[in-house]
A and B are shown apart, each in its own frame.
Chain A
């Protein structure tokens, strides 16, 4: 009897979730997009195994899972360096690997970066909820029962697409250090800060605090001075929006963020640089670099070109 192929979770790691490119259409009622925190690494994992960009895979945080494969297929690991092993032997990340039935892939603690992605040819076929398989833990939505994976979970796999193993050559693999610079566009409430406040913000650096999560990156650094208080009439919170709260400290709002809020936002991190924040470890230092909208759009084009050229 042939059952549906399932990936078996032998060990889950502290926060391993099913993600696809996200849930679109529900921000206006307060449901965030979710999806991978490092979109480029996620998309490359899918492309390495011949999946479409939106196929669901695993996002593994700080310590990876141990999973068993049911049959022969391509798999790929990208993102944070978690020293993958297959049946106990080291295997390379950033390339398609052919696994067989019963093979066990293990990801260890992150040596550099924070979030690794595991793509399996055919994608994970957990039930889509509101058009997406992405897990939103706070809203108990998507993935498996809206929660992080647990030991013993079984994830249904899709049909294997025809593909040959490919790789991202070593010189195109991103290096995740203890420092990162991200492009920001000032606003929407930059007029609520003093020139000294804006200068402090752009001068940085800001240390990433351990309380950071998929909702937001909490930062500590130079005091960002307001002109007249931090409260505004609540408005929409854009992806990458940088809220500055009472103590003059910034929070970058990310994939699982609240849809609206009542705090001033000094600037917004550009979409193509959000992955750098996702891969910065607690204690790492972040610098903000001001760009115009026009510059940001040119940089977005460059970043898409680099992504499309990353795989050989």
Chain B
């Protein structure tokens, strides 16, 4: 794993800068990104606006009429020196019920065939893993996660779907993702969670956050339908515990 000794500060137009810490997908590197974001938020520097953490970089928006580029980049370098995972608050673990039946997990069988495993085994392996959320984005609330056992590494679909139903739990490469809104998709859909990852009517519209851990709990179709009804009536909240599971 490589974390660069010095961050690369890359201008993004007149109002943003990308702080790049490395060039790969790994948890240690991502934890540094989240730690830098956390320290920057704590520092409350005038003129610093929104931040967007991703795998290996932090995008920082700023108002150049309040803070100049040189002052901002100097502050970011200084904060980076202290940006260690230990500065972050304890991680959360979110439990998501997931139904792996063939109707909701409409690509489970095809994926199983591709992987050379029985469908039940694919579902069992998928539900048994501990997932880490690197960041949330692309569409509202979509988590970028890894954590699957190696047997589930699978090439992405050659012909991406134009529509994926919300809640679809899917895999591609070494990643797992859940589609919060109906969107195109190039991952294999193994199942569906009745939990809403994005609810624009809720005070806190996004369920998952960067740095969270996710565990899936396999449920049958009857439980899925019952939970979906409770979710629709606003009578269900997923179980969230604080303190990371073993990595």
What is A's interface to B at a CB cutoff of 8 Å?
24-31, 129-130, 138-141, 146, 184-185, 187-189, 233-241, 258-261, 265, 268-272, 293-294, 296-297, 299-301, 304
Q: Which residues of A contact B58 (CB under 8 A)?
A: 236
Residue in B49, B50, B198 whose CB lies within 8 Å of A139: B198
- Are the C-beta atoms of B200 and A272 separated by less than 8 Å? no
- Are the C-beta atoms of B16 and A297 separated by less than 8 Å? no
Given contacts A185-B13, A270-B13, contact A236 B138 (CB under 8 A): no
Mask, B33-49, CB within 8 Å of A = 1, is: 00001000000000001
The 6 closest A-B pairs by CB, nearest first: A236-B59, A268-B13, A238-B12, A236-B52, A188-B10, A30-B137
- Expressed in whole angstroms, the Cα–Cα distance for A117 and B236 within the complex equals 42
Shortest CB distance A298–B (Å) = 10
- Expressed in whole angstroms, the Cα–Cα distance for A34 and B51 within the complex equals 16
Q: Which residues of B contact A236 (CB under 8 A)?
A: 18, 52-54, 57-59, 137
Mask, B104-145, CB within 8 Å of A = 1, is: 000000000000000000000000000000011111111010
Q: Which residues of A contact B209 (CB under 8 A)?
A: 29
Shortest CB distance A184–B (Å) = 7
Q: Which residues of A contact B198 (CB under 8 A)?
A: 139
Shortest CB distance B47–A (Å) = 12
Given contacts A30-B138, A129-B200, contact A185 B12 (CB under 8 A): yes
**Count of residues in B whose CB is under 8 Å from the partner chain:** 45
Shortest CB distance A233–B (Å) = 5
- Are the C-beta atoms of B56 and A30 separated by less than 8 Å? no
Residue in A30, A129, A272, A297 whose CB lies within 8 Å of B141: A30
11 contacts between A and B (CB under 8 A): A28-B52, A30-B139, A130-B200, A185-B13, A233-B24, A234-B138, A241-B12, A241-B13, A259-B138, A260-B54, A296-B14
- Expressed in whole angstroms, the Cα–Cα distance for A139 and B64 within the complex equals 30
Is B187 part of the binding interface, using a Cβ–Cβ cutoff of 8 Å? no
- Are the C-beta atoms of B49 and A24 separated by less than 8 Å? yes
- Expressed in whole angstroms, the Cα–Cα distance for A192 and B51 within the complex equals 24
Q: Which residues of A contact B138 (CB under 8 A)?
A: 30, 234, 258-261
Shortest CB distance B208–A (Å) = 8
